[in-house]
Amino acid sequence: MKTITALAGFIILFFLYHAAEYMIMFKNSPVGFLAFQFLFLIAAWGIAKWQGRPGLKAWGLDTQRGFLIHLIVGLLMGCLLYGITFLIGCLAGIERLVEIPTFATFAMPLGLFVFGNFFSSLSEDILTRGYVFAHLRGKVGTSFLAFISATIYLLNHIYRLGDGFQAYLYLFLLGVLFIIPLLRTNRLWFTVGMHWAGNVTFYLVHELWRTEDTGHVLSANYVLAAVILLFIPLNNFVLKLLRVRGQV
């Protein structure tokens, strides 16, 4: 019975998440996107209660002491992850920064993206990490749990599944990177911050600034994969520092 309710909850959340994605990607409807995102959060709370769990806290979203520190440090790590990747790509000649428009020209779209992507990042983190962790913790080994979560995260990018091995590689590694803070702290906030800030940084340097691919033999996706591998031990180090300071 528990397995059935767990699968049912996942299917409901999966549908609501992708309904929101559909509204913004194919209907260009911010209102529809936000409506389904709010429905997702309400459903995530309701499903937790249905399963006898303490609301959104069940998925790693407790608001006890230190959660804001986790979020803020995660935001910094997300900016660094994609900022370093972009810098390496430019220095190696893989990408070229053509123009940085004035802030006034991209302030509005950036602000809207920052707002909307918070909900998108949060809901995906609940779906592919918090929910999976809550149901598999103690039932499978930590490494296998990380593998399952990263695989679900990869497959959740249903519109990227035709992009080939490079996309699969960095998405899977991102899934591993993003589950580690939850495994170490039982909290999702560090991952939410990192995921959110990473998406915003990528959007800024690749969509709002004018950049172009130089056709270099080395793909920017491989650079991202390499940087992710470096950030896995870096994340562990930062989390240890938080633990020493009593924030974990």
Cα–Cα distance measured from residue 159 to residue 172, given in angstroms and rounded to the nearest whole number = 15
Q: What angle do CA 172, 195, 25 make, to 5 degrees?
A: 85
Q: How confident is the model at residue 215 (pLDDT cuts 50, 70, 90)?
A: confident
Half-sphere CA count of 225, side-chain side, radius 13 A: 14
Take residue 8 and report the two structure tokens written for it.
């049912």
pLDDT tens sequence across 166-185: 999 999 999 999 999 999 99
Cα–Cα distance measured from residue 188 to residue 137, given in angstroms and rounded to the nearest whole number = 14
End-to-end CA gap in the chain:
34
Mean pLDDT for the stretch of residues 229-243: 93
pLDDT score recorded for residue 143:
96
Locate the DSSP E strands across the chain. 95-99, 210-213
DSSP codes, 173-226: HHHHHHHHHHHHHS-SHHHHHHHHHHHHHHHIIIIISEEEE---SS-HHHHHHH
pLDDT tens sequence across 114-125: 999 999 999 999
- Number of Cβ within a 10 Å radius of residue 244: 9
pLDDT at position 235 over 60: yes
Q: How confident is the model at residue 245 (pLDDT cuts 50, 70, 90)?
A: low
Nearest to 182 by CA among 146, 224, 232: 146
CA–CA distances in Å: residue 128 to residues 25, 65, 94, 167: 20, 25, 31, 17
pLDDT at position 244 over 90: no
3-class SS at 84?
A: helix
Cβ proximity of 20 and 33 under 8 Å: yes
Cα–Cα distance measured from residue 187 to residue 167, given in angstroms and rounded to the nearest whole number = 27
Half-sphere CA count of 29, side-chain side, radius 13 A: 14
- Number of Cβ within a 10 Å radius of residue 97: 14
pLDDT at position 93 over 80: yes
- Tell me which H or E stretch contains 21: helix 2-25
Q: What is the DSSP letter of 29?
A: -
Half-sphere CA count of 182, side-chain side, radius 13 A: 35
pLDDT score recorded for residue 64:
87
